[in-house]
Homo-oligomer: A and B are copies of this chain.
């Protein structure tokens, strides 16, 4: 009835997801929840993240005003990262997502298994002849 009332560029969902849906972003924010932390510490805490990806992710968060970067020019250098007040407003959202997953992700996994099974058994998907 109402035609084209949902727009990708205008929709709020797109905006949030654009910020937090990068591969490592949520994990980096999570590692910052407890307060200020050094670059190297983040890297140690997050399993499998490369230096490049961590730097890239942090740069993006800094650009978006979600974290602050503080350089102490010693040698070797010390760089501390902290969530800004704006960044902290994300925490309740993230908590909610986390809780949803804890509660419902098993159901999703189960659904996927049964879906694959019914596919193998040649269930009707096609609009048949």
A interface residues, Cβ below 8 angstroms from B? 1-8, 11-17, 19-21, 23-24, 26-27, 30-31, 41, 44-49, 62-66, 71, 73, 77, 86, 89-90, 92-94, 96-98, 100-105, 107-108, 110-112, 115, 124, 127-128
Of B20, B65, B71, B96, which one neighbours A110 at CB under 8 angstroms?
Answer: B65
Q: Which 3 pairs from chain A and chain B are nearest by CB?
A: A65-B111, A12-B101, A21-B21
Evaluate contact between B46 and A6: CB separation under 8 angstroms: yes
Evaluate contact between B71 and A112: CB separation under 8 angstroms: no
Evaluate contact between B64 and A111: CB separation under 8 angstroms: yes
User: What residues of B have a CB within 8 angstroms of the CB of A92 in the complex?
Assistant: 96
Interface of A: prevailing SS: helix
Evaluate contact between A13 and B94: CB separation under 8 angstroms: yes
Evaluate contact between B2 and A14: CB separation under 8 angstroms: no
Query: Shortest Cβ distance from A94 into chain B, in angstroms?
Result: 7
Evaluate contact between B62 and A12: CB separation under 8 angstroms: no
Query: Shortest Cβ distance from A120 into chain B, in angstroms?
Result: 13
Given contacts A48-B7, A64-B111, whether A15 and B105 have CB atoms under 8 Å apart is yes
